[in-house]
Structure 1
């Protein structure tokens, strides 16, 4: 017989695969845009639907939480029925849910449609990354393709406000959801032509009970957090958090016992896997939580139009692009954990700048803060996934990708929930008892719920009373922004310390980064198993 062919170079991708990457990049961009596109629409939908403070937070983050809860299950389903097929089913569902969200007539309906969008999004996310692995076999090309995927996902969260601002300048708040419909139509047309089908004949069964347990655990904890932020500590909030943690513990216990678990906890035995994803999740969390505040600050505190607010947020998008380009150059000479730690230190400085924002601060201070924040977190988000997935054994790379996506989506929603809840609690505490005595009771309740409600109520009051009410609520919101930025600065400082000490000193598994070539994939071993 002839000699072994295991040393042959893997096939390289051609024009069809690179065009297919562009097709997959669009839904990836849209998935994260759909979380942040609502930031600039908050004042408009607050005036139209009149949500409470808790309802507004649910509108913002139910999408991310349900996507995170269903990601791993949908990844398994894609292995069973075909990843391209699941991608196209998800595209049709996402388009339909986007239309329903655009024409919501109540807070409850918008929360429900955002939940449907999250479930539909969960069918898209794992399919895009899994298909990339089937389309790009050459390690260098695959790294470049995953880099494009990561940049699109990261950039979507900061391009969302700009797109939202442009639409809100001419249309109603629901128009921000209609962006997804043409993108999904393009995917439905081009997907069958450009994307390969792939399924795993040995895929495990769909574990609906585990999926339900993970969603219940997340939502119960978050509900308790929001209830504390809105109404203070209560028996209901404590029981919700304790109950969610208990369900989460049962979920982990179940995964350890199952022969085919929904979440492969064995991946966390790889030294770098858990720490890398934790640091990546931290970066996503602080960025999404800050976005919740800065979009409202520009419109409701500084009085900018949605379009002007979106333009002033462009430096955040620019920071991601510059950060990604800089990362690609720096990792040729510097180890990945060092680059990630340096990025976190830059973002720490940015949050310290934002913690100094006042109602009348120079806009340059804001621009410097948001640019440095996104510039600093960009390498953390890009390298965190690559480092974690690269440290997993090759035969478990698909499962590692699903876990990485789940943590990324969960962090997007948790940032709004946790940081947003803290800011809401600070805002409410600053407003209580400070409003003018002649403000009507219904206006007081509106002001205590959200700043958007306060601005709308102030328009219906007499000049002096309305202006006094705005002064109090805007100062209270700015205090919430300062508190949130300070907390984020502390979090990323701790993250930088962990990255530069613990993560830097952890060894790989032999499948990821090599010491001699930081940032490059480990070389294939001749004759080794695929």
Structure 2
């Protein structure tokens, strides 16, 4: 930890490197904050814009769907046109659209704005990680910069609920969008101090590949979302099979093209491939946990958004420390051992939720264990991703890594959140004599709490007791399953994440 702190102090003292670190940190924080910050604002937005249930889902999903669908395209475009240019364009567009969303008068205005934010966010994320290769040529400095980047990625997702809770305690829902300005304006001012990344000149853009990649990601994610919210039906099959079909066509086209949008040769490296899957799993675990933890804290325990968000603060602070402290550890211990150990800590987090009664204390403790482990994992795995590719393909590698993160966001909500919701419905036993419309409304925890306000005191108390108990049961059973699956994945990681020791494999292969 002392070595990392010394290196960080040296970077901060160097004006150009300090500016580069700030330029990398701020947009990553914002883009990942936007994945989760809107959840706390939905009740106020629903009151102001009166969206349908489907429109409320699209307010959340439009951002992550577009972001995930365009990451590969934007990463490849940054390799061709320069990542600093893409970063500036993305930040300017993100800030402008954030201001425009404030004036939304109808639900579709906000949905369209969220989709545009996803587009500009896809320009930002690959550029930040790729610019680390340009700004930090020294291997140890780059490791530390990757640690800061990965910590921001983890903290941003967890910081969204906290920041949303604080803002909504004092301001209207529009404040969650205006928060973009203090993050992005410094980036636009400091970006000229960073050296532009190497460009792949003479390469053409394959627009069909762009359409295929976007269609494949969107199809699969729409299928997963429909599965989680409605259940298995023909639409799930249609969207999922459409996405898989377009994905197969995309892969076959990349293998034929001399200048592919995505270089599939990147996956020949086991370090790269396993690190990508690890990124997907790790953020999925974090987002899935936050999904049910926020409902436990606010609905079951009855805490205000601000107090509920404060329960998560210790985990956020310790994750920052863990993301930096893991750097010297990773220099001495093989990455498969480090990541496996961190995954076992994540399994312990879900074990806490499975073995002990859910309270604010157990939620806070489990979040500390989980967020610390994920922060350490993302630092090591992203260093492996960057180290496995040549510098001029850093954008493509970064975009694949970040696509895995966004897919993890969707899968975490769908699989963990959907598992809790399904078990909740199976465990729920509404008192006899209650109207059918009340039973239907109580199919979700939020619906049960809302409909209880329309019933008599005795019936309302009974509904809340049954709903809260069923949700606790769903959390415990899902957490137990997740703990077991994480242990199995840790064993796979230990076996297949083998990296040849070398001071810097990229530089050695590409002088």
Shorter-chain TM-score above 0.5: yes
Matches within 5 A, 1:365-380: 365-380=362-377
1:127-179 deviation per Cα after TM superposition (whole angstroms, max 9, x unaligned):
22222222222222222222222211221111222111111211233422221
Partner of 1:172: 172
Q: 1:383 to 1:30 in 2, by over 3 A?
A: same
Does 2:466 correspond to 1:469? no
Q: 1:51 to 1:422 in 2, by over 3 A?
A: farther
**Pairs aligned (count):** 500
Q: 1:152 to 1:141 in 2, by over 3 A?
A: same
2:433 to 425, 433, 437: 437
- Asked if the contact 1:63/1:118 (under 8 Å) is kept, the reply is yes
Partner of 1:405: 402
Q: 1:473 to 1:116 in 2, by over 3 A?
A: farther
Matches within 5 A, 1:506-517: 506-508=498-500, 513-514=501-502
Partner of 2:442: 447
Q: 1:41 to 1:523 in 2, by over 3 A?
A: closer
Partners in 2 of 1:351 and 1:203 — Cα distance?
A: 50
TM-score of the superposed pair, with normalisation by structure 1? 0.86
Q: CA deviation at 1:357?
A: 5.7
- Asked if the contact 2:147/2:327 (under 8 Å) is kept, the reply is no
Partner of 1:25: 25
Q: 1:309 to 1:234 in 2, by over 3 A?
A: same
Partner of 2:82: 82
1:488 to 482, 488, 504: 482
**Structure 2: runs of 5+ lacking an equivalent:** 1-10
1:442-462 deviation per Cα after TM superposition (whole angstroms, max 9, x unaligned):
x544433x4333333333433
Partners in 2 of 1:196 and 1:130 — Cα distance?
A: 12
Partner of 1:5: none
Partner of 1:416: 413
Matches within 5 A, 1:52-201: 56-102=56-102, 104=104, 108-192=108-192, 194-198=193-197, 200-201=199-200
Instruction: Name which of structure 1's ranges 120-129 and 59-68 shifts more when overlaid on structure 2.
Output: 59-68
1:11-43 deviation per Cα after TM superposition (whole angstroms, max 9, x unaligned):
x99312212321321111111111122343355
* SS of residue paired to 1:173: coil
1:170-199 deviation per Cα after TM superposition (whole angstroms, max 9, x unaligned):
12334222211232223233333x233346
* SS of residue paired to 1:272: helix
Partner of 1:9: none
Matches within 5 A, 1:223-302: 223-302=222-301
- Asked if the contact 2:353/2:366 (under 8 Å) is kept, the reply is yes
1:360-393 deviation per Cα after TM superposition (whole angstroms, max 9, x unaligned):
x332222211111112222211111111321234
Q: CA deviation at 1:210?
A: 2.0
- Asked if the contact 2:131/2:197 (under 8 Å) is kept, the reply is yes
Instruction: Name which of structure 1's ranges 78-87 and 280-289 shifts more when overlaid on structure 2.
Output: 78-87
- Asked if the contact 1:66/1:118 (under 8 Å) is kept, the reply is yes
- Asked if the contact 1:73/1:206 (under 8 Å) is kept, the reply is no
1:382-435 deviation per Cα after TM superposition (whole angstroms, max 9, x unaligned):
11111132123455444322322222232223322332333333334444x625
Q: 1:406 to 1:225 in 2, by over 3 A?
A: closer
Partners in 2 of 1:188 and 1:271 — Cα distance?
A: 37
- Asked if the contact 2:68/2:403 (under 8 Å) is kept, the reply is yes
**Structure 1: runs of 5+ lacking an equivalent:** 1-11, 515-519
- Asked if the contact 1:35/1:63 (under 8 Å) is kept, the reply is yes
1:84-137 deviation per Cα after TM superposition (whole angstroms, max 9, x unaligned):
232222112212332344455555444332222111100111222222222222
Superposed CA RMSD in Å reads 2.7
* SS of residue paired to 2:332: coil
Partners in 1 of 2:471 and 2:303 — Cα distance?
A: 16
TM-score of the superposed pair, with normalisation by structure 2? 0.89
- Asked if the contact 1:57/1:420 (under 8 Å) is kept, the reply is no
Q: 1:58 to 1:292 in 2, by over 3 A?
A: farther
- Asked if the contact 2:40/2:165 (under 8 Å) is kept, the reply is yes
Partners in 2 of 1:276 and 1:399 — Cα distance?
A: 15
Q: 1:464 to 1:227 in 2, by over 3 A?
A: same
Q: 1:71 to 1:233 in 2, by over 3 A?
A: closer
Partners in 2 of 1:165 and 1:116 — Cα distance?
A: 24
Q: 1:184 to 1:325 in 2, by over 3 A?
A: closer
Q: 1:153 to 1:228 in 2, by over 3 A?
A: closer
